[in-house]
């Protein structure tokens, strides 16, 4: 018997959900790209690369476990009226608390422990939050949902601009502002009533999922792994990369300058991601758009590697951010269409989330092998090769024909 199809969601619902996803982005982008490197540099001095790498590795392991566990636990809540939302609340509370622990950290070892706690709480929150899109958004709107993810991703960069705008703002106030933003963005969506589809899938949707099978899911997983590897490694060492660029900017003002550059990039991503996401809904095909945005990412990395002066590095960084943001956001919801089991979506998305955490583990090794005497060119060229391969893999995905949205 064919189960009823999920109803289309109105724009208000989609916007609230996208803002909640943006709250998750605000939770980690300014911390991991700006505030944590500054704290590590202050506490560890010349050992900053080693300490940041250790924190990244330990945090990645914690994130992997928490995301899968959070997804599995929220799967068990699918038959309850509130669905996954109570577990998002638990993760949200833990994320805010972890910021307090990080603020109190007074040694490299305490910072590493704080990062582990942060990643456990954050990923326990993100796992059920992301699975809600798979539960409640129909496939013919998933491109738009992914595009909205890309549109709100720059909130992370904008929050970085906000908390680094004035050199007089201390760490305590920076952390407090970020926590307030996280709660303000996520809480409104969580109070909405759960609007889930029947657990049993419609026959047509099952047939579409099986058309490409595990081959498609594997290609998507590998492509995402490669793009995420480039993004996570670059963002982990972004501040240190720009310290090597010929720019004539003081070390004290560099974080604010990087945050401002990221904010400018956000203005470009906001209209681009939803437009391309909606285009993928209308055409019924996503792989060409994904391959093209991966190509933009590759070009940006190559420019950063080969032209290490401020104007060129800034343009390369903007190309990288635009391309990777659109790719990862649209591909995020695309992968949801390929999941084999509706009762285990949280768990399966947690496994797919390993494409976020495995690269963080690789960052430790790649940093030691490829960053030589403040020269980031070898690292950036390797990352450019990875993103080019990821875009190529997307061209081999076999898409089932479906009506345009």
| 247 C-beta neighbours (distance < 10 Å), count | 16
**Cβ burial, residue 243 (10 Å; 0-12/13-18/19+):** middle
On the question of pLDDT at 207 being above 60, the answer is no
Q: Is residue 402 part of a domain?
A: no
Answer with the residue of higher pLDDT: 41 or 97. Answer: 97
| All residues at 6 or more sequence positions from 390 whose CB lies less than 8 Å from its CB, including other chains | 222, 223, 224, 225, 226, 227, 294
The Cα–Cα gap between 123 and 60 comes to 10
Q: Is residue 153 part of a domain?
A: yes
Q: Percent of the chain having pLDDT more than 70? A: 84
The Cα–Cα gap between 353 and 62 comes to 12
Question: For 307-358, what is the HEC assignment?
Answer: CCEHHHHHHHHHHHHHHHHHHHHHHHHHHHCCCCCCCCHHHHHHHHCHHHHH
pLDDT recorded at residue 204: 46
Question: pTM for the whole thing?
Answer: 0.73
pLDDT recorded at residue 235: 79
Q: Is residue 67 part of a domain?
A: yes
Nearest CA among 359, 356, 320, 159 for reference residue 241: 320
pLDDT tens track for 295-308: 999 999 999 999 98
Cβ atoms 224, 328 nearer than 8 A: yes
Answer with the residue of higher pLDDT: 140 or 51. Answer: 51
| 356 C-beta neighbours (distance < 10 Å), count | 21
pLDDT recorded at residue 130: 86
Q: Is residue 401 part of a domain?
A: no
On the question of pLDDT at 50 being above 50, the answer is yes
What mean pLDDT comes out for the span 346-366? 71
Q: Is residue 404 part of a domain?
A: no
What mean pLDDT comes out for the span 28-53? 85
Q: Percent of the chain having pLDDT more than 90? A: 29
pLDDT recorded at residue 356: 67
Any idea which of 1-5, 302-306, 389-393 has the lowest mean pLDDT? 1-5
On the question of pLDDT at 200 being above 60, the answer is no
Q: Which range marks the domain in which residue 371 is found?
A: 11-394
Q: Is residue 5 part of a domain?
A: no
On the question of pLDDT at 3 being above 50, the answer is no
| 136 C-beta neighbours (distance < 10 Å), count | 21
Answer with the residue of higher pLDDT: 275 or 10. Answer: 275
What mean pLDDT comes out for the span 222-236? 85
pLDDT tens track for 126-178: 999 988 887 887 777 888 888 888 888 878 878 888 888 776 778 889 999 99
pLDDT recorded at residue 47: 82
Give the residues across from 383 on adjacent strands.
Answer: none
Q: Is residue 94 part of a domain?
A: yes
Q: Is residue 124 part of a domain?
A: yes
Any idea which of 164-168, 208-212, 265-269, 347-351 has the lowest mean pLDDT? 208-212
Here the CATH number for the domain that contains residue 288 is 1.20.1250.20
What mean pLDDT comes out for the span 223-233? 87
What mean pLDDT comes out for the span 32-54? 84
Cβ atoms 16, 190 nearer than 8 A: no
On the question of pLDDT at 196 being above 50, the answer is yes
What mean pLDDT comes out for the span 52-68? 87
Q: What is the band of 281 on the pLDDT scale with cuts at 50, 70, 90?
A: confident
Answer with the residue of higher pLDDT: 81 or 161. Answer: 161
pLDDT recorded at residue 124: 93
| All residues at 6 or more sequence positions from 143 whose CB lies less than 8 Å from its CB, including other chains | 277, 278, 279, 280, 281, 286, 330, 333, 334, 405
Q: How many domains does the chain have?
A: 1
Q: What are the distances in angstroms from CA 209 to CA 212, 225, 312, 340, 341?
A: 6, 21, 43, 7, 10
Cβ atoms 265, 321 nearer than 8 A: yes
The Cα–Cα gap between 336 and 208 comes to 12
Give the residues across from 375 on adjacent strands.
Answer: 372
pLDDT recorded at residue 194: 61
pLDDT recorded at residue 203: 45
Mean pLDDT of the chain: 82
Answer with the residue of higher pLDDT: 321 or 335. Answer: 321
């Amino acid at each position: 018997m064919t189960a009823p199809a999920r109803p289309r969601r109105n724009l208000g619902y989609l916007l609230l959900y996208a803002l909640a996803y943006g709250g998750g982005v605000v939770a980690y982008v300014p911390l991991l790209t700006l505030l944590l490197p500054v704290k590590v540099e202050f506490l560890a001095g010349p050992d900053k690369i080693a300490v940041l790498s250790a924190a990244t590795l330990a945090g990645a392991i914690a994130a992997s476990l928490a995301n899968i566990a959070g997804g599995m636990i929220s799967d068990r809540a699918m038959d309850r009226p509130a669905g996954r939302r109570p577990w998002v609340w638990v993760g949200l509370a833990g994320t805010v608390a972890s910021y307090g622990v990080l603020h109190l950290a007074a040694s490299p070892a305490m910072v590493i422990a704080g990062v582990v706690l942060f990643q456990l709480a954050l990923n326990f929150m993100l796992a059920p939050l992301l699975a809600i899109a798979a539960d409640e958004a129909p496939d013919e709107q998933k491109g738009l949902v992914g595009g909205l993810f890309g549109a709100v991703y720059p909130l992370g960069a904008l929050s970085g601009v906000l908390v680094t705008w004035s050199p007089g703002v201390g760490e305590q106030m920076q952390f407090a502002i970020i926590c307030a933003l996280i709660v303000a963005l996520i809480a409104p969506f969580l109070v909405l009533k759960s609007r889930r589809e029947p657990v049993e899938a419609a026959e047509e949707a099952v047939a579409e999922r099986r058309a490409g099978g595990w081959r498609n899911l594997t290609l998507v997983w590998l492509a995402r792994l490669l793009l995420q590897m480039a993004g996570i490694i670059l963002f982990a060492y972004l501040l240190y990369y720009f310290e090597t660029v010929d720019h004539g900017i003081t070390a004290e003002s560099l974080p604010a300058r990087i945050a401002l550059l990221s904010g400018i990039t956000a203005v470009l991503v906001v209209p681009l991601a939803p437009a391309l996401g909606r285009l993928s809904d209308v055409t019924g095909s996503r792989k060409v758009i994904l391959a093209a945005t991966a190509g933009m990412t590759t070009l940006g990395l190559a420019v950063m590697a080969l032209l290490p002066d401020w104007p060129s590095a800034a343009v390369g960084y903007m190309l990288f951010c635009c391309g990777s943001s659109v790719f990862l956001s649209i591909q995020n919801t695309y992968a949801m269409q390929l999941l084999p089991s509706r009762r285990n979506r949280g768990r399966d998305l947690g496994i797919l989330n390993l494409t976020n955490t495995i690269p963080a583990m690789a960052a430790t090794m790649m940093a030691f092998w490829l960053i030589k005497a403040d020269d980031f060119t070898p690292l950036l060229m390797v990352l450019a090769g990875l993103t080019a391969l990821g875009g190529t893999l997307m061209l081999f995905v076999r898409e089932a024909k479906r009506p345009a949205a």
